[in-house]
Chains A and B, each alone.
Chain A
Amino acid sequence: MVTEARPQPVSHLRNRVSLTAVGGLTLVVLLLAWLLVNFVKTPSDFLEVFLIGLTTGCIYALVALGYTLVYGILELINFAHGDVFMLGGMVSATVLASWFGVASGDSGTIVWLSIFGTLIVSMAFCGILNASIEFVAYRPLRGAPRLAPLITAIGMSFILQNVALAWKGPNYIEVVDVLPHSNVFSIGGVDYQWNKLIVILITVPVLLVLVWLVERTRQGKAMRATAQDRDASAMMGINVNRTISFTFLIAGGLAGAAGLLYALYVTNIRYDQGFQLGLIAFTAAVLGGIGNLPGAVLGAIIIGLIQAFNEGLSWHAPGSDWTQSLVFAILILILVFRPEGLLGERTPEGG
């Protein structure tokens, strides 16, 4: 065997990999250094911004999980997901104000019950909407090239946006402001308000239920099996179509919960906000490793923090004008340097 002339391509490949690793590490180090300088300069601002980022990160996590669930099972970027979220917010705002008659500044048990009721309505609405979208727009295209459902997803996204436009008009709609703004604690100039804590208090149980559903139940097992190999799980007697519908239902439910939280926390919503937020959440899902549930949460919190730091810190922060660019730059960098994300495993399929 003549082997001595062969090993060159391998070393060449190694070189490239280490170069990208160095580049990525440099970026991360620069980012950390920037954060550290900011922390030293204005520690109380830094911590407050950190808490804001954690809150938005929670909302992103709920949306990102929807992307990651659907991607895991169908390998489809459900562009309409962000708009399902937005409709969830609008439905929540309407239900809260019209059905339950909650007005801004209300408080007491009745408000909490109303919020809980709205949560159920919004989750059910978005879940059914998402599952119907799958049934109408993606299921007929199972065997088609991958571009086909992606294109219908974009189409559905535009349709949903226009439904919201027709329903609520082109301006921001105001949502009742019922979450208390009083402080949970105030230590050394760092304030933490109840409305932020409540977002986390609602998000965490929803996430726990989701984990239980996917990890412990029969249906969750079917979901995981279908995600791994659709044909094999069909042979094992799993109803693949029903499982996929169920996944869309769950994903939509999460988007509904996120929509309610967003509406309550930000207190205004507009028909085109879903798409932008959806893209941010998708970035979060990719950052964490698409198809990976803890990854989506981790990625969402990181993206939430990055956004908050970018908009809230004073020393050399690009500012909210650049949030979109920043998030997309992160997305591109991850896809180019580490397409499997932070927690994903590198496989030829990238799943």
Chain B
Amino acid sequence: MAVRRRTGFLDPVREWIDELEGRILPETAGPVARLTFRRAVTAAIVFLITFVVLAPIFNYATSEPGLWRGAAFFTWLVFVVLYVPPWERIPTIGPYIRPAMAFGLAFTYPFYVSNMFDIPIFGAWPDVSTGVYMLVFIMMAIGLNIVVGYAGLLDLGYVAFYAIGSYTVAWFASSQFAGVNVHFWDTGVGATVPGIHISIWLLLALAGVVTALVGILIGLPTLRLRGDYLAIVTLGFGEILPQIARNGDDLFGTGFNLTNGPNGIVPIDSPGFGSFNYLTGSGTFFTSERLFFWTAILLVLFTIFCSLRLLDSRLGRAWVAIREDETAASAMGVPLMRTKTWAYAAGAFFGGIAGAYYASFKSATFPGDFFFNISVFILCMVILGGMGNIWGVILGAAFLSYLDREGLANTGAWLNQHLSLNIEVPKYEFGIFGVILVLTMLFRPEGLIPNTRRKAEFEVGVHDQPLYDVTHE
């Protein structure tokens, strides 16, 4: 079957650039020059759109148009520096230049955020603590992407892994079990404080491992199922675990308080080194927020690294093979159960670490944080960004978690003010996410930044999958 190439709305633009390239560049121009030229033209178009077409609208939309224009120009310059030069063609270090620059921008974010301009309609840039939240969800989305994007297993209960990670930290770094008094490399907690207090760094690893083990335990009996049956079983687990958390203050009438029920476990210790604690920070430079932010960036980098390396590994190729055609992959000697279980464990691992880190950042964990909504929220990030493409997933996660935290409130306030409405926009958050899910699936099922193979699967279609398989184990 031939790949049916869908015509995008950008195609005329692309053709126009082709024509321009043929007219201006000499025949002898090399591929690097051609690439640079095309990108420069694109950057010029972006400039025109931003400052000629959108500027009047944005001037109307912001309170300080002059400030907006200056700052937007600098942002555009950053875009040009990142995008136009063919960095990736530089030998050896080429592929790393752009990620390194992006990383640098992210890492220094706390220094320039206060000088950032208001984005029209969306309002101020997210502050640093929202940044931490976004990074945590980026991590979870990358983890879910391993399961959904790489291996093609729809997981509707990812929130369970988030919950397990959070509760692991909550148990071992708080005063929840006041009957005992265990301290191990903890920081910022008095030696006489009851409960178990273990270093958060160890607990992050522990949470990852525990969550991965739970992922394997959940996976072993259920991964035999295919497609939507697997989805519904994971949904079941995603509902059961939070309910255990909710009812866990008096487990089965024994009086044993495991999770402190709906009141949640507060406070949870913060990470730190020796006498240097994240909760208090140190001076005006190492504020608590910044420390959490930078550590979260490191964790996300670790996740990205693992995820990319996994995709290129034997295991990762096996995942993609299973996603495209389970039967064929099995016939080629891919052990289905083991491969799927590993996908589950890897996805769970990162979900657990993210959950653990977030619990420590928030210094609390409540069963109300782990509803089915959150599973769909994370799934929405993966789908909007582009299943299987890690950069797309990062984009989707950053955007949606920003919307959740600040964006929707800001946009809603703007709408209400300018259109004289009175809608509580954040209240309809999940309706908006539902619209995003449906529209993405209908019009761009491959996501904003698609994965090439995944896109082909959506356009050509894949082999019809049987529902479950009783033959293999």
Q: Chain A: residues with CB nearer than 8 A to chain B?
A: 16, 75-77, 137, 140-141, 143-152, 154-159, 161-163, 165-166, 170, 275, 279, 282, 286, 318, 321-322, 324-325, 328-329, 331-332, 335-336, 339, 346, 348-351
Q: How far is the CB of B156 from chain A (nearest CB, A)?
A: 8
- Residue numbers in B under 8 Å from A149 (CB-CB): 441
Nearest A residue to B153 via CB reads A147
B431–A145 touching, CB < 8 Å: no
Whether the pair A146, B239 counts as a contact (CB closer than 8 A) is no
B 194-234 to A, binary, CB cutoff 8 A, 1 in contact else 0: 00000000000000000000000000011011011101110
Interface centre among B435, B445, B467 (most CB of A within 10 A): B467
Task: Name A's interface SS.
Answer: helix
Name 29 A/B residue pairs within 8 A (Cβ), A-sorted.
A141-B445, A146-B465, A147-B148, A147-B152, A147-B154, A148-B458, A150-B231, A151-B383, A151-B441, A155-B434, A155-B438, A155-B441, A156-B438, A157-B434, A158-B430, A158-B431, A159-B434, A159-B438, A162-B428, A282-B232, A322-B243, A324-B243, A325-B244, A328-B239, A332-B222, A332-B233, A349-B466, A350-B466, A350-B467
Inter-subunit contact A335/B438 (CB<8 Å): no
Report the 6 A-B pairs with minimum CB-CB distance, sorted nearest first.
A162-B431, A158-B434, A155-B437, A328-B236, A350-B467, A155-B438
Q: Which residues of A contact B225 (CB under 8 A)?
A: 335-336, 339
A150 touches B228 (CB 8 A): yes
Whole-angstrom distance from the CB of B458 to the nearest CB of chain A? 6
Query: How many chain B residues touch the partner (CB < 8 A)?
Result: 55
Nearest CB in chain B: distance from A37 CB, A: 17
Residues of A within 8 A of B464 (CB): 146
Asked if B24 is at the interface (CB within 8 A of a chain A CB), the reply is: no
What is the CA–CA distance of A142 and B58 in the complex, to the nearest angstrom? Answer: 41
Among residues of A, the one whose C-beta sits closest to the C-beta of B240 is A325
B125 proximal to A (CB < 8 A): no
Report the number of A-B residue pairs with Cβ-Cβ less than 8 Å: 150
Distance in angstroms between the alpha carbons of A75 and B466 in the assembled complex:
10
Contact B445 A148 (CB under 8 A): yes
The 8 Å CB contact of A322, one of B247, B431, B435, B461, is B247
A252 to chain B, nearest CB (A): 18
C-alpha spacing A349/B462, complex, angstroms:
16
Q: How far is the CA of A25 from the CA of B345 in the complex (A)?
A: 31
Nearest CB in chain B: distance from A173 CB, A: 17
Chain A residue contacts of B383, Cβ below 8 A: 151
Contact A159 B228 (CB under 8 A): no
Q: Which residues of B contact A336 (CB under 8 A)?
A: 221-222, 224-225, 233
Do A162 and B467 touch (CB < 8 A)? no
Docked pose: A137 CA to B441 CA in angstroms:
9
User: A150: which B residues are within 8 A, CB to CB?
Assistant: 154, 227-228, 231
- What is the minimal beta-carbon distance from A205 to any residue of chain B, in angstroms? 31
- State whether A155 touches B435 (Cβ < 8 A): yes
